[in-house]
Structure 1
Amino acid sequence: MENAIKNKKILITGGAGFIGSNLCNYFVKNNEVVCLDNFATGHFHNIAHLIDNKNFTLIEGDIRDYTVCEAAVKGIDYVLHQAALGSVPRSINDPITSNEVNVSGFLNILRASTQEGVARFVYAASSSTYGDSEALPKLEDVIGNPLSPYAVTKYVNELYADVFSKTYGIEVIGLRYFNVFGRNQDPNGAYAAVIPKFVKSFINHESPVINGDGNFSRDFTYIDNVVHMNEKALETKDINAINTVYNTAYGDRTTLNELIKYLKEYLSEFDPEISNIEVKYDSIRDGDIPHSLASIEKAKKLLNYNPKYSLKEGLREAVEWYWKNLK
């Protein structure tokens, strides 16, 4: 992708995490990037290669500390706010910490950005905001009731962003991410995302575990589509395109059973034995949404968003990266 944002100073919170580190890698080519991370879920190895880059600055700190946020936004043109405690199950097990990070931390960095006069604040919202709405595809203006503490926190972010844009005049754009996957995604831990978790199981010749019967579906979205969307959110000059939220996805859905089939096919090119590994099925997790499919028409129309990678195209690239890095 050609970098359309140049000679800006960009703060990326959660910059050592999965999505954040990919944003750092992309924007540091033509901009000054400040990465803020407390390494609770992010990893230093995701950004280690950038440490000696003159365009890159690492601040180790926590968004729950307002003084850290104040220091991080000094002289910043744009904020890409990715820092959060993800995972629906994690929020169910520990709603207090999820709220502290995702709501109080969000408010800290948004307030500090407003006080500093940051030109635009783009933040990671979530498809979990659609909650119990059964309508497909998901339209930005039609949401249901939240099904988890995590979903509550991400919806509160949208409410705060809207109030701040109207009250203080800061330009905000929320990106509702749909099941993002790709390089730098952590396969370890109880709250690992499904694709790297499945891949790691296959590589280790272990049976992946699907929650439910495998017919739940998701709009799986390759990381480069998400980077592209963040850039589109930063570069738009259309007044109608700001102070709102967008689905950030490919616009197609795949069942978990179909996903497993593709992963086995692509991984078997590296290790033929993987094609014979059986899948295990377990109970449905609390807070899980049965089906997810994004309408991306709003982003296409207002941001000129054009996702380059389908699930299969993204999986091929991701599987190659996983094979090199997870073995």
Structure 2
Amino acid sequence: MRYLVTGGAGFIGSHLVRALLEKGHEVRVLDNFSTGKEENLAELSGRIDVIRGDVRSFADIERALEGVTFVFHQAAVGSVPRSIADPFDTQTANVNGTLNLLWKAKEFGVQRVVIAGSSSVYGDTPGMPRVETLLPSPLSPYALSKLSQELFGKIFSKTFGLETVTLRYFNIFGPRQDPRSEYAAVIPRFVRAILKKDAVTINGTGEQSRDFTFIDNVVQANLLAMETTRGIGEAVNIGCGSSFSILELVDHLSEILGVRPEVRHLPPRAGDPMASQADISKARDLLGYSPKVYFREGLERTARWFEEKFRRTGDL
């Protein structure tokens, strides 16, 4: 059976592609390489089928779905700040693109689509840890687009008979995450700054907290979601069930890398909630999910990967 990974040249997608190959599956990637990188797949040349295309194009989706049984939908325009700067690009890629994919997946007889969702859908709704029964309260166009994705998934399961499962990711991090982007996630951005002996810049006080989740846990969750006989049409949290502040993150990275950076503070970013922590009971119950790599070990593995790359290339 053949698997399609949309956004397969990106951070999460490229890890998922490798996991599928290790299990002996045929893998095809659909990516427009706007944020995905060819270097993430370079060592897999000849082992995967790569289509340069966009989920906003029916023609590209049709080429990608030919002969495919299962789809991991990772393609998206990510980042809360980016969506605030340009909500239209976020809307067309994340909402229209997902609708396009689901529509064509139904038409092509795909059995199941696992959708990359986001914990950002909870926004500032009261209640911690975040449990799936809480009412979503998106604070950004990005968060709204991710909520739309999972609701379309539910509709296609209930109304059109296409199996879907949505995974609400909580602050994923790990090797191959891009530290250079204007909208880079906090962990690779901090690692790069510390390795280069630059100041670490924090938006806000640094007391805001997140459920930082290592990439291996997310790959595991995706594979489980593709195999489960339960939870079809559902959205489930994927995190570790723990929470650390941004200041605690800096402390841990300083210990691991042996450098205490200067810390600078900027105003808080619009659209960012103060706290986030996953209740993973539903994922455990429906998927059999349990985190394998927790915060400190994940940070150590991530920091060492970037440190080795920095040693080889002189930059990240």
TM-score grouping bracket, smaller chain normalisation: over 0.9
1:248 corresponds to 2:238: yes
Are 1:172 and 1:243, in contact at CA under 8 Å, matched by a contact in 2? yes
Q: Indicate the larger mover: 312-321 or 217-226.
A: 312-321
Among 5, 11, 20, the alignment partner of 2:4 is: 11
Alignment of 1:71-82 (within 5 A): 71-82=63-74
SS state of the match for residue 92, structure 2?
A: helix
1:295 corresponds to 2:279: yes
Paired residue for 1:34?
A: 28
**How many pairs does the alignment contain?**
310
Are 2:157 and 2:232, in contact at CA under 8 Å, matched by a contact in 1? no
Are 1:129 and 1:143, in contact at CA under 8 Å, matched by a contact in 2? no
By how many angstroms is 1:325 displaced? 1.9
Measure the CA separation in 1 of the matches of 2:124 and 2:82. Answer: 19
Are 2:155 and 2:233, in contact at CA under 8 Å, matched by a contact in 1? no
What amino acid sits opposite 2:181 in the alignment? G
1:20 corresponds to 2:13: yes
SS state of the match for residue 99, structure 1?
A: helix
SS state of the match for residue 113, structure 2?
A: strand
Are 2:123 and 2:272, in contact at CA under 8 Å, matched by a contact in 1? no
**What's the C-alpha RMSD, in Å, of the aligned pairs?**
0.9
Alignment of 1:1-327 (within 5 A): 8-29=1-22, 30-53=24-47, 56-238=48-230, 241-268=231-258, 274-275=259-260, 277-326=261-310, 327=315
Measure the CA separation in 2 of the matches of 1:52 and 1:118. Answer: 24
Are 1:147 and 1:287, in contact at CA under 8 Å, matched by a contact in 2? yes
By how many angstroms is 1:191 displaced? 0.3
Percent identity for Structure 1 against Structure 2? 45
Are 1:16 and 1:47, in contact at CA under 8 Å, matched by a contact in 2? yes
SS state of the match for residue 112, structure 1?
A: helix
By how many angstroms is 1:237 displaced? 2.2
Measure the CA separation in 1 of the matches of 2:295 and 2:106. Answer: 37
SS state of the match for residue 280, structure 1?
A: strand
SS state of the match for residue 160, structure 1?
A: helix
Q: Normalising by structure 1, what TM-score? A: 0.93
What amino acid sits opposite 1:300 in the alignment? R
- In structure 2, runs of 5+ residues without a counterpart are none
4+ runs of 1 displaced by more than 4 Å?
Answer: none
After superposition, the C-alpha distances for 1:155-192 in whole angstroms (9 at most, x for unaligned) are 11111111111111011000000000001100012100
By how many angstroms is 1:72 displaced? 0.6
Measure the CA separation in 2 of the matches of 1:141 and 1:74. Answer: 37
After superposition, the C-alpha distances for 1:242-287 in whole angstroms (9 at most, x for unaligned) are 110110111100000000000011111xxxxx23x22111110000
What amino acid sits opposite 2:2 in the alignment? K
Q: Normalising by structure 2, what TM-score? A: 0.96
- In structure 1, runs of 5+ residues without a counterpart are 1-7, 269-273
